[in-house]
């Protein structure tokens, strides 16, 4: 029983260190085409299809396909910078969960949110306004 506890603690420490490395790693070569996003992150070129549809949340990634879903109401009303930031967030989050087995909320979401913020700052977007829009969308549905 004690061995299992020690191993779990060691694994948690390794995950924590890995997340710190990912937080420092830059996103580069971001490209948007008609309905796709692609970018370089952590030495990989990753890409997903973007689908606008009615979503309960502002954005979500498919557990089955390489696809990001953005709420069509968000896409119509918000600035292009916020829309693109959401796409970056979802793409990175899906990549980290699928490729490295990171926990969605405790690990992958933290890294993806940081990269989303860095993108918005790089294109002179309003992080605070974007964050509030996403925050209220989640909370009105009883999340977090």
Residue 111 in contact with residue 72, Cβ under 8 Å? no
Residue 64 in contact with residue 51, Cβ under 8 Å? no
For the question of whether the overall pTM of this predicted structure is more than 0.75, the answer is yes
Domains of the chain in start order, with CATH, are: 2-139 (3.30.2010)
Neighbours of 96 (CB within 10 A): 25
pLDDT for residue 41: 98
Q: For the segment 15-32, what is each residue's pLDDT rounded down to a tens digit?
A: 889 999 999 999 999 999
Q: Tokens in use for 134?
A: 């996403």
pLDDT for residue 78: 61
- The CA distance from 86 to 105, in Å, is 16
Q: For the segment 95-135, what is each residue's pLDDT rounded down to a tens digit?
A: 999 999 999 988 999 999 999 999 999 999 999 988 888 87
Strand partners, 47: 38
């Amino acid at each position: 029983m004690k061995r299992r506890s020690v191993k779990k603690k060691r694994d948690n420490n390794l995950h924590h260190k890995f997340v710190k490395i990912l937080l420092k790693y830059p996103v580069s070569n971001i490209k948007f085409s008609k309905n796709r996003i692609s970018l370089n992150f952590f030495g990989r070129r990753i890409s997903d299809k973007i689908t606008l549809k009615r979503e309960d949340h502002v954005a979500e990634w498919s557990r089955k396909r390489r696809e990001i879903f953005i709420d069509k109401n968000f896409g119509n009303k918000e600035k292009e910078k916020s829309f693109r930031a959401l796409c970056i967030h979802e793409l990175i989050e899906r990549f980290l969960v699928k490729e490295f087995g990171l926990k969605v909320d405790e690990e992958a979401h933290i890294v993806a949110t940081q990269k989303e913020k860095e993108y918005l700052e790089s294109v002179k977007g309003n992080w605070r306004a974007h964050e509030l829009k996403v925050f209220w969308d989640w909370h009105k549905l009883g999340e977090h």
